[in-house]
Structure 1
Amino acid sequence: MSGMPAPSIPNLLTLRGARGGSGARGRMRGRGGSQSSGAGAVATSMPSHDATIQGTDTDAAVSRMSAVDLGYLEDQYARFFVQAPPPTGAAVRRLPIINRGTYTRTTALDNLIGAFLSATEGQDRQVVSLGAGTDTRPFRLFKDKNYAKLIYHEVDFPTVTDRKCHLTKAIPALRAVIPKADVIDQTHTWRDEEVPNASQYWCHGLDLRDLSKPGETPTEVPGLQKDLPTLLISECCLCYLETTEASKVMQYFTDRIPRLALVIYEPIHPNDPFGKQMVSNLAARRIRMPTLEKFTSTNEQEARLRDAGFSSVHSLTIERIWEDWVSSEEKERVDALEGLDEVEEWNLLADHYSVSWGWRGITLDGWRLGSS
């Protein structure tokens, strides 16, 4: 399935002064940025912060392409979302530790999304991806005949979704999967309600903060089906909202959809030396992760999901997922691609990211089948 919305795990090695990479990036798309929350914050700072967040999607696409080029992942659509290589013609190649991180994060979300799709097989069902950016997952899922009756929503900033719409219309391989990129009126939402296998695709250009503005009627997500089993995905997206805003976005969906599952990928452990350096370097780039300050461990991520109303919750670090979910044969295959000398650094990096998931009204117990 995915070169997972397989962007990269942020390259925190550069935050420690190590070689290579492109700095800490997260998958920071379409979520609305979190401006400074202090009393002296000015509204004019918000657009530049949002622009910084949007710009990280380029790095996500490059990291995904690096993992695909080297054989970690299979994704025939990844190359369409990467800008032309430099004059030398050489593709950007990430460090082995980053490629492994991209692979492991991809494996985790593929496993959980697969569990949701298996649990709802034969039914109409729905996936909502927050901050989707240039993620190729819908193209890959729609191409797979096993995943019928799927309504797939992506949400991001309008500038990001408009570009994705343009590329989908312009590139034959993308247009073959989503042939009718129809814009709704003059909005930034476009859709194809005639995807093969009785599926639909919706791409929404909107700011998640508009879903829950105090004192205002919330923006509704066009085409969202409230009576279907639904999987909500946030890959380094909600972490860029203030914690109250992130909770309200989650509440927007929990209030409307009884049968709901949620998967969150975010950094954790900000208070040890590695985490402090990460936070400091992000701050130097005018980036802040409010939820990182509050939900600092897998236990706190699980408590967060319980508080949101999910009856069954789990959270694991990327390090633990690599150890427990990837078979020994697959580890050997991945190791043979490049080899990894920085085992200590890998363990440190992978311990600072977690995948958390919960559900109510449906079950994701099938995830256990994918773990070793």
Structure 2
Amino acid sequence: MYPPPHPNISYRNQDSDAAIRLTDSDAALARLSAVKKGYMQDPFIKHLIPRAHLQPPRPPLINIGTYVRSEAIDNLIDEWLEISCQDGKKCQLVSLGAGSDSRFWRLATGPHKDKLAAYIEVDFPDVTTKKAMALRKSRELSAILGSPEQIKISHGGTALHAKNYHLLPVDLRLPPSESLATFLAKPLSDNPSNPILSHSLPTLLIFECVLVYMSPEASSALIQWFVDYFHQGSSSTVAGGHAPLAGIVYEMFGLRDAFGQVMLNNLKSRNVVLPGAEPYPTISSLPHRFLKHGFTTCHALSLREIRRHYTNHSELKRISSLEMLDEVEELNLVLEHYGITWGIKLPDASDAASNLSWGKWGLKPAEKASEEME
């Protein structure tokens, strides 16, 4: 959810990659603003933003959108970790296009800290270099990663590895078999049976505003690589090769209408294009992103629907008291053009009880929806 072009920034001479990287700054600043205004708690985001204490707040519309997005994704991840624990396994999270996200530190200091086997972040080398520097500079963030001897920098400062955290420099538009596999399929140690990404653990892929910047062919190849990776692992691993693979996608969609065109023009003025949005004109089209790769089930909701029917009335009442919102109609229009999709690929029905638990994973309607918040 991006602000209009900044009057003091020239976008004309930026290449498209630089413009895309700038959207990460927008998202981080939006989260910082929402945290400062009391919409949510995140004591770590300030360490990932230069001069965080000097950053101005964002408008209420952006703060609310950031809250709805963040809470929904956090709820999906929390439930994934809970089901994994009930299933008797730790799990892996892979955040693709992670940028300045602080989720690992929130999880690593929260109630689910013992449920993480690995948390892997992937982004442009320029982005991972800056993040690796920020992690080394911040005593608070580096302490959570582990002792100094447990933290290793590699690939010229673009990659960082800790006990259960990995920061990897990859251009996700490149063929995954040549780029992603170089990191995820290879071990850090001399043990060839212990790659960074295990074949046998429940794994959740997180795509927050990343696939929409890629061509449909590139994003499809990326998802298929993970499907093939776990399929090959299940056939080659003797014990526990069968594990659920799931994904969460947050992105813009439905940009063919008048408001969508305004959004596109706004982004084009910043040298940002959205080739990945074209195949998804409606909310009902979003699940196809996973279903075409053999996922068992998939669902999608707009942020407006999530705010209206999947957020507790008490929470809506609380955040409505934080700031005065005058642009209610504009808020609804914006939220209608952002969606969250989640899908899961269950293993063969060798464990029906386990598959039943995993199959229930997803956002749950609030006990009391708030119609007056419209």
Give yes or no for contact 2:94–2:203 (8 Å, CA) kept in 1.
yes
Matched residue SS, 1:266: strand
2:205 to 232, 247, 253: 232
1:134 to 100, 108, 117: 100
* Counterpart residue number, 2:215: 242
> Aligned partner of 1:189: which letter?
A
**Alpha-carbon deviation of 1:217?**
8.2
Q: Any conservation in 1 of the 2:171–2:179 contact (CA below 8 Å)? A: no
- CA displacement at 1:21 relative to structure 2: 11
Tell me, which stretches of 5 or more residues in structure 1 are unaligned?
1-8, 24-44, 194-199
Shift of 1:345: 0.9
Q: How big is each residue's C-alpha offset from its partner over 1:58-114, in whole Å with a ceiling of 9 and x where there is no partner? A: 2222111100000001000111122216xxx75311111110000000011011111
The count of aligned residue pairs is: 325
* Structure 2 residue aligned with 1:148: 114
1:237 is displaced (CA, Å) by 0.2
| Residues 1:175 and 2:170 are matched in the alignment | no
Shift in Å, 1:338: 0.5
Match of 1:365 among 340, 356, 360: 360
**1:152-194, Cα deviation, whole Å (9 max, x unpaired):** 000011111111111111111111211343124657331112x
Q: Equivalent residue of 2:183, what SS?
A: coil
- For the pair shown, the structure with the greater C-alpha radius of gyration is 2
SS at match of 1:209: coil
State the 1:303 CA deviation. Answer: 2.0
Alpha-carbon contact 2:264-2:273 (below 8 Å) kept: yes
Aligned counterparts of 2:300 and 2:343: Cα–Cα separation in 1: 9
Aligned residue for 1:38? none
* 1: CA distance, partners of 2:111 / 2:66: 26
Where in structure 2 are the equivalents of 1:54-69 lying within 5 Å? Answer: 54-69=21-36
Find the residue that maps to 2:173 and give its secondary structure: helix
CA distance in 2, matches of 1:21, 1:235: 27
Whichever residue aligns with residue 162 of structure 2, its letter is D
State the alpha-carbon separation in 1 of the partners of residues 179 and 42 from structure 2. Answer: 40
Conserved? CA contact 1:128–1:154, under 8 Å: yes
- CA distance in structure 1 between the aligned counterparts of 2:30 and 2:82, rounded to whole angstroms: 29
2:312, 2:7 → 1: CA distance? 28
Structure 1 length as normaliser, TM-score? Answer: 0.81
- In structure 2, the residue matched to 1:196 is none
Unaligned runs of 5+ in 2: 185-195, 232-243, 347-354, 368-374
1:125 aligns with 2:91: yes
CA distance in 2, matches of 1:185, 1:245: 24
Aligned to 1:221: 183
Letter in 1 for 2:37: L
- Using the alignment, how far apart are the partners of 2:247 and 2:343 within structure 1? 5
For residues 61 and 352 of structure 1, do their structure 2 counterparts lie closer, same or farther at Cα, with a shift above 3 Å needed? Answer: same
176-185 or 68-77: bigger deviation:
176-185
Give the whole-Å Cα distance in 2 for the aligned partners of 1:224 and 1:21: 43
Map residues 68-79 of structure 1 onto 2, 5 A cutoff: 68-79=35-46
Are 1:312 and 2:290 matched, yes or no? no
Q: Which moved more, 1:125-134 or 1:176-185?
A: 176-185
Q: Tell me the equivalent position of 2:80.
A: 116
Q: Which residue of 2 aligns with 1:253?
A: 226
What amino acid does structure 1 have at the position aligned with 2:110? D
Is contact 1:298-1:356 (8 Å) kept? no
Moved more, 69-78 or 224-233: 224-233
How big is each residue's C-alpha offset from its partner over 1:193-219, in whole Å with a ceiling of 9 and x where there is no partner? 2xxxxxx10110111123437xx6874
The structure showing larger relative contact order (alpha-carbon pairs under 8 Å, at least 6 residues apart) is: 1
Q: Measured at CA, do residues 301 and 208 of structure 1 come closer, stay the same or move farther in structure 2, by a change above 3 Å?
A: same
Output the aligned Cα RMSD.
2.4
Taking structure 1 as reference, are residues 364 and 51 closer, same or farther at Cα in structure 2, changes over 3 Å only?
Answer: farther
* Contact 1:119/1:364, CA 8 A, preserved across alignment: no
8 Å Cα contact 2:132/2:157 also seen in 1: no
Partner of 2:286, secondary structure, is helix
- Does the CA contact (< 8 Å) of 2:97 and 2:207 recur in 1? yes
Q: How many Å separate the matches in 2 of 1:22 and 1:352?
A: 27
**Which deviations, in whole Å up to 9, do the C-alpha atoms of 1:265-290 show, x marking residues without a partner?**
11111111110111122223222111
Q: SS in structure 1 opposite 2:260? A: helix
Q: In the TM superposition, what is the alpha-carbon distance from 1:340 to its structure 2 partner?
A: 1.6
Write out aligned runs for 1:102-113 (5 A).
Answer: 102-113=66-77
Q: Do the aligned partners of 1:211 and 1:252 also contact (CA within 8 Å) in 2?
A: no
Q: Give the corresponding residue for 2:333.
A: 348
Given that 2:2 and 2:26 are in contact with CA atoms closer than 8 Å, whether structure 1 keeps it comes out as: no
Shift of 1:352: 0.6
Counting aligned pairs with the same residue, the percent is 34
TM-score calculated relative to the size of structure 2: 0.81
